[in-house]
Structures are given as C-alpha cells and as structure tokens.
Amino acid sequence: MIITYGNTSVGCVDLFDFDPLNQRVGVGIMIDAQFEGLGYAKQAIEEVKKYAFSQLGIHQLFCQIASNNTRSIALFEKVGFTKTAARKDWLRIENKWEDELFYQCFNEA
C-alpha cells in the first residue's frame, strides 16, 4: 500500500514474477483516482527501484503497459524505464485491440 504521512491509503504498488536467478522483477502500480496527478506514483516507483536494486539485488525491473495508457507510459519513462518491445494486438479493451508495451529499467550500479 502507498500511505501518506496522514495515514491515508492512496494506492498500491506490486512486485510480481520475481526471478532471483535472472535478478528481475515486474512492477505495477495503481493510484486511487482522487489522488492521481499528485506525484504519489512517481515517488512510489522511485522508492521501489531503490529497494529492488539495493535490497533485493535486482538487475532489472520491468512493466507491461497498454499502448493507450499514456499516463502510465509518461510515468515510467519519467522514472527511467525504456520501451524495449511491443506485442501487437495483445490486449482487448472495450472491443478494440491494443498493443502491450514492454518497459525495462536496469540497475546501473
């Protein structure tokens, strides 16, 4: 959970598909609509990056984003993720096919 200093839950961040052998883990985030645009997502992803790289010994974080999700694309690019692949017509959203974009962020230390 992402908790503010006032003990308000504003969303959650998830680490998934942890692969210790290949030192990678996926990351996802959800922010409650009333708290979007306030910087909580950016701060949370930056903290998760620090934790994953320094405490878990991760070489890379990755995420998958629907190509029509411009806010998530902007967020992950702002915190250092780079688009490395796309899966064509991978997601069916509201009876329309969307590409899924694959983003990665590497531990440069």
Q: The domain containing residue 50 runs over which residues?
A: 2-106
Please tell me the distance from the alpha carbon of residue 64 to that of residue 102, in angstroms, as a whole number: 5
Give pLDDT, residue 17.
Answer: 97
- Band of pLDDT at residue 76, cut at 50, 70 and 90: very high
- If one counts the domains in the chain, the total is 1
CATH assignment of the domain containing 64? 3.40.630.30
- Asked whether 41 and 75 are in contact (CB, 8 A), the reply is yes
pLDDT tens-place string over residues 34-45: 999 999 999 999
pLDDT, tens digit, 9 for 90 and up, residues 15-24: 999 999 999 9
Torsions phi, psi for 35 (to 5 deg): -115, 5
> Residue for token digits 């250092």?
80
Provide the 3-class DSSP secondary structure of residue 88.
strand
